[in-house]
């Protein structure tokens, strides 16, 4: 309890500081958010460097005798090639699908009206209200697309400003990733030296082993997911092309990219693809759904287990929990990294439990360990 005037002054000052901080919390949060926005290109640069380090290590080991220089260059060439290929496949087909949808709005309205007429004549159900809603929705969509077309010039100007900022962020991200990949060995050596200087040898060794285990889990899982997503996209494209389905490149890219998200990814990618094809032909939509079922059966039973293997060691319920929690906290990126993050936590918990049992001299069933018996 305060006894002197100095104590009361210090107490009043502390209360005032606390109230001031609480009062300024929105401004502080805004400043933190702005600071995080500034640092986001650097964060994405770290992510890009980590992902590209996976093929760089592979190329260095298999093609260049352990030398990373050419392996890093080849990894970036692979990245640019993949991005350019995806853009060349997606953008034209996306524009074509939007143009086709707008041009067929009146046809869709007529088909729905005919279906409603059939329902009224066959079952005697009054569909006049629904017919009014269909006509109104069609007119609203047509007016919206016309307004979008009329505002194209302003939208282009706004997009140009946004593209300039995005280009600068992309350049910073690329530069950071190049620096990190090119200086990987030097940076890791510096970090290890600092940790050895700051921590006792035993704690430093434990931290190094945890980092090694986490890196092995993350790189194995992310690399496996990327390869699996590529194979799923290729399978989808080949089968859609064999069945002569429309928009095969666009939908195959969508299915492959969303397949990076475990468990839920195939369904996230299949729904918009089925909707796009349903607007073209209901039969094509049915064929696409069957193709997705076949591809997912092949992938889940034969391909994914051999590529990803036991990278996480999590049961199905654990994977679903990691996806839900990661997605609720960090969105789509959280769904991707949630699974390896939970795998690392589970591995650490297993090691801690094992160490605790060993320290007590018992096994997991409570029996004395063989080396502790007299």
Number of helices (H), then strands (E), belonging to the chain: the values are 13, 0
| Least confident residue range of 206-215, 330-339, 354-363 | 354-363
Average pLDDT over residues 194-209: 86
pTM (two decimals): 0.69
Coil, strand, or helix at residue 210? Answer: helix
- Pick from 236-245, 279-288, 326-335: least confident: 326-335
Selection from 373, 337, 90 nearest residue 233 by Cα: 90
The better pLDDT of the pair 231, 3 is held by 231
* Residues above pLDDT 90, as percent of the chain: 5
Average pLDDT, the chain: 77
Task: Count CB neighbours of 201 within 10 A.
Answer: 8
Band (77; pLDDT cuts 50, 70, 90): very high
**What's residue 288's pLDDT?**
92
Q: Of the candidates 216, 330, 315, which has an alpha carbon nearest to the alpha carbon of residue 263?
A: 315
Reference 316, options 263, 259, 260; nearest CA is 263
| The pLDDT value given to residue 374 | 47
pLDDT-derived band of residue 373, with 50, 70 and 90 as boundaries?
A: very low
Residue spans of the domains in the chain: they are 39-198, 205-361
294 has pLDDT over 50:
yes
- Average pLDDT, integer, range 210-225: 86
pLDDT at residue 150 greater than cutoff 80: no
Pick the range with the lowest mean pLDDT from 12-21, 60-69, 344-353.
12-21
CA torsion, ordered 42, 48, 54, 60, to nearest 10 deg: -80
Q: pLDDT band for 372, please (50, 70, 90 cuts).
A: very low
Residue 95: what pLDDT? 74
User: Per-residue pLDDT for 172 more than 80?
Assistant: yes
pLDDT at 140: 67
Confidence of residue 31 (pLDDT cuts 50, 70, 90): low
Note the residue count of the chain.
374
């Amino acid at each position: 309890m305060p006894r002197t005037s100095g104590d009361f002054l210090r107490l009043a000052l502390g209360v005032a500081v606390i109230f001031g901080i609480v009062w300024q919390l929105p401004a502080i949060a805004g400043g933190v958010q702005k600071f995080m926005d500034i640092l986001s290109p650097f964060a994405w640069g770290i992510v890009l460097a980590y992902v590209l380090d996976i093929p760089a290590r592979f190329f260095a080991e298999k093609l260049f005798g352990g030398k990373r220089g050419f392996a890093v260059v080849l990894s970036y060439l692979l990245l640019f090639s993949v991005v350019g290929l995806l853009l060349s496949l997606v953008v034209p087909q996306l524009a074509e699908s939007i143009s086709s949808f707008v041009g067929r709005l009146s046809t869709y309205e007529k088909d729905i009206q005919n279906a409603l007429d059939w329902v009224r004549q066959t079952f005697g159900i009054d569909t006049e209200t629904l017919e009014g809603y269909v006509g109104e929705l069609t007119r609203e969509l047509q007016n919206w697309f016309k307004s979008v077309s009329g505002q194209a010039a302003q939208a282009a100007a706004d997009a140009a400003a946004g593209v300039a900022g995005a280009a600068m962020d992309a350049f910073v991200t690329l530069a950071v990733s190049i620096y990190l990949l090119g200086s990987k060995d030097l940076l890791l050596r510096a970090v290890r030296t600092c940790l050895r200087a700051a921590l006792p040898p035993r704690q430093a060794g434990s931290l190094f082993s945890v980092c090694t285990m986490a890196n092995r889990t993350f790189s194995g899982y992310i690399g496996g997911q990327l390869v699996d997503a590529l194979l799923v996209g290729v399978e989808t494209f080949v089968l859609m092309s064999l069945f002569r389905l429309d928009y095969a490149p666009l939908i195959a890219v969508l299915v492959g990219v969303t397949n990076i998200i475990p468990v839920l990814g195939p369904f996230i990618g299949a729904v918009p693809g089925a909707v796009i094809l349903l607007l073209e032909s209901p039969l094509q939509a049915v064929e696409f759904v069957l193709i997705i079922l076949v591809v997912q059966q092949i992938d889940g039973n034969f391909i994914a287990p051999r590529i990803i293997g036991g990278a996480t060691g999590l049961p199905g319920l654990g994977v679903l929990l990691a996806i839900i929690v990661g997605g609720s906290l960090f969105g789509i990126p959280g769904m991707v990294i949630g699974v390896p993050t939970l795998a690392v936590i589970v591995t650490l918990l297993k090691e801690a439990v094992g160490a605790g049992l060993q320290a007590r001299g018992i096994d997991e069933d409570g029996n004395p360990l063989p080396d502790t018996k007299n």
